[in-house]
Amino acid sequence: MLGNNSNRLAQSVERIASGIRINRGADDAAGLAISESLRSDIRALRQAVRNGNDGIALINTAEGALNEQSAILIRLRELSAQASTGTVGSTERQTLQLEFSALRNEIDRIANTTEFNGQKLIEGSLASTVSSTEHVLVQIGLDSSSDSQINLNKSIDLSAITSSGLGIEALSITSAATALTTLDSINTAISTIT
């Protein structure tokens, strides 16, 4: 009797200390199996939440870079419009071309340095490593079904958002005629990333 009371006391102390009603299979085998399954699901769902947050952060990083590139393209359009008018001389156009070239280089710098967890996002390498059967997937559920995954390829365009990818790498605004042609190309580039 004293031994039973001592065992029950030890069991109660163990439960109180662990905060868990079932500490081993002898306490309740079926309950332990259910409990362990639920614990596993909880841990997996917590990781799914972290995965979802990482996916959001990846998209936010890409979006920030694209916003900067969009602002640069708008400035390039402004410079092209300014250089296309007949009231601007060749010296002024050369100065405008210097700014134009520097901004075009900035588009490439942004593309080449925008990364998330070491993976470049918008300079094209992510798109080239993702085949039609592979996707940038964020696992947000407990199984491999499409309901448990977010395909980021459907959310963001992973193609190269560089001066060459946008078709503006060789553009010039050194004459009114080339500035007009450049203006059309810049408008196309803007529509690509907005």
| Residue 1 maps to a domain | no
Residue scoring higher pLDDT (46 or 137):
46
What is the C-alpha separation between 179 and 43, in angstroms, rounded?
A: 58
The pLDDT of residue 129: 59
pLDDT range class, residue 156, cuts 50, 70, 90: low
What is the C-alpha separation between 173 and 146, in angstroms, rounded?
A: 48
| Residue 150 maps to a domain | yes
Q: Taking 80 as the threshold, does the pLDDT of residue 25 lie above it?
A: no
What is the torsional sign of CA 84, 90, 92, 98? positive
Q: Which of 6-10, 14-18, 111-115 has the lowest mean pLDDT?
A: 14-18
Take residue 76 and report the two structure tokens written for it: 């390039």
| Residue 166 maps to a domain | yes
| Residue 145 maps to a domain | yes
What is the C-alpha separation between 56 and 85, in angstroms, rounded?
A: 44
| Residue 16 maps to a domain | no
| Residue 11 maps to a domain | no
What is the C-alpha separation between 70 and 77, in angstroms, rounded?
A: 10
The pLDDT of residue 73: 98
| Residue 160 maps to a domain | yes
The closest alpha carbon to 156, from 133, 134, 135, belongs to 135
Phi/psi of residue 131, nearest 5 degrees: -80, 180
The domain spanning residue 115 has which CATH number? 1.20.1330.10
Q: Which of 27-31, 50-54, 140-144 has the lowest mean pLDDT?
A: 27-31
pLDDT range class, residue 132, cuts 50, 70, 90: low
Q: Taking 70 as the threshold, does the pLDDT of residue 109 lie above it?
A: yes
By residue range, what is the domain housing residue 68?
51-193
The pLDDT of residue 186: 97
The pLDDT of residue 121: 86
Total domains present in the chain: 1
Q: Which of 97-101, 119-123, 126-130, 156-160 has the lowest mean pLDDT?
A: 126-130
Q: Which of 7-11, 94-98, 163-167, 185-189 has the lowest mean pLDDT?
A: 7-11
What is the C-alpha separation between 172 and 189, in angstroms, rounded?
A: 15
| Residue 41 maps to a domain | no
| Residue 102 CB partners (closer than 8 Å, separation 6+) | none
Q: Taking 90 as the threshold, does the pLDDT of residue 193 lie above it?
A: no
The pLDDT of residue 138: 86
Mean pLDDT, range 163-178, rounded to an integer: 94
